[in-house]
Structure 1
Amino acid sequence: MYALTRENPDDRWEVEALYDLCFAPGREALSSYRLRDGIPAVRELCLVARDPDGILGGAIRFWPVRIGRAEALLLGPVAVHPTRQGEGLGGMLIREGVARAEALSWPRILLVGDEPYYSRFGFRRLDGVEMPPPTNPARVLGVGDWDGVSGRVTRWGAEEGH
């Protein structure tokens, strides 16, 4: 069994090492990272999963973004250690993160990912929502209230908050 807790500053380097292990080199050059650069993550939603021995098995982070005047969360990265994959840990992190975001009244969440995987958590393709290039539009997915929300995804302004 895993304990899901809020990521704290002492977890940072261990979580970053997990992301480095799970994602290709140069991951920080992706368009989604340009939306995160210099913007603090939503700390209440950044979670780590540890086994009973305290070993990190997975992590998830959320970042505030805008689509026009609409607020949204950008989910990601979410990663599960290769030795822990297939145990449902990624799903646990996603479900808990989405539930906590809803409890904090975030109206919508988007991500860039594989629809067959993320659809089981309610994510669907977002037509009309544009991530910065070079993002494949078929991989832009969302959950929540997207009625009337369209346009380019942009960085959360330093003067704005939630």
Structure 2
Amino acid sequence: MSPSIVIRKAHPEDIVEISRLHARVFGPGRFARSAYRVREGKGHLSRFCLVACIGKEVVASIRTTEITIGGAKGAILLGPVAVDADHRTFGLGSKLITAALEAAHKGGAKLVVLVGDHPYYGRFGFNAVPPGQIVFPGPVNPFRILAHELEPGALAGYRGLVVAEPPGELPDA
């Protein structure tokens, strides 16, 4: 029998637990990841960040960051997705990605981008971005930049450097 898992919006009081989860899952190298570099100094949570909890324990999280790409607004950076090792058999990563994409779409985002592996993220509708179209600060393999259009044809309107937007007000859950 699987435990009772609740997926909900992340709240400021979850930041410590999310940070601990990331430390367990990714180790000290996590700060070199592109999502951390983009988000640096811009706050911890956006309105589309989610957590999966068993009781009060955060066992998985998905971070999202509202970004501009070459100055164009309406895009979201997805990642990282972190699932505690003891809870990886429940499909939490997939559930969080699906829920975050739905929340971003409902929230008016046009495009979601990430740095990851197409064989995994392709099943969620992510496709390769032409090399050089979207650029991240720091070293990123351009063949791992993927995008999911929440609005058909949206990718064509985005070209240039990814920059984090300061997080807006987090709506009530």
TM-score (norm 2): 0.83
Q: Does 1:113 align with 2:116?
A: yes
Runs of 4+ in 1 over 4 A off after TM superposition: none
Q: Helix, strand or coil for the counterpart of 1:134? A: coil
Which has the higher mean CA deviation after the structures are superposed, 1-10 or 109-118? 1-10
Give the one of 136, 144, 147 matched to 1:142.
147
Give the one of 12, 33, 37 matched to 2:15.
12
- Alignment-mate amino acid for residue 140 of structure 1: I
**Paired-residue identity, %:** 36
- Tell me, yes or no, if the aligned pair for 2:15 and 2:44 is still in contact at 8 Å: no
Give the one of 17, 34, 55 matched to 1:31.
34
Structure 2: give runs of 5+ residues left out of the alignment: none
- Tell me, yes or no, if the aligned pair for 1:109 and 1:142 is still in contact at 8 Å: yes
- Tell me, yes or no, if the aligned pair for 1:41 and 1:62 is still in contact at 8 Å: no
How many pairs are equivalent? 159
TM-score (norm 1): 0.88
Matches within 5 A, 1:42-53: 43-51=46-54, 53=55
Partner Cα separation in structure 2 for residue 5 and residue 155 of structure 1 = 23
Higher relative contact order (CA 8 A, sep 6+): 2
Partner Cα separation in structure 1 for residue 159 and residue 146 of structure 2 = 12
Matches within 5 A, 1:10-159: 10-41=13-44, 43-51=46-54, 53-71=55-73, 72-127=75-130, 128-144=133-149, 145-156=154-165
1:131-155 deviation line (CA, Å, top 9, x unaligned) = 2231011111111121232222223
Which has the higher mean CA deviation after the structures are superposed, 37-46 or 60-69? 37-46
- Tell me, yes or no, if the aligned pair for 1:74 and 1:111 is still in contact at 8 Å: yes
State the Cα distance separating 1:161 from its structure 2 match: 6.5
State the Cα distance separating 1:41 from its structure 2 match: 4.8
Partner Cα separation in structure 2 for residue 30 and residue 148 of structure 1 = 25
Partner Cα separation in structure 1 for residue 97 and residue 106 of structure 2 = 14
Structure 1: give runs of 5+ residues left out of the alignment: none
1:52-107 deviation line (CA, Å, top 9, x unaligned) = x3332210111111111222111111111111113211000000011000001011
Partner Cα separation in structure 2 for residue 42 and residue 10 of structure 1 = 11
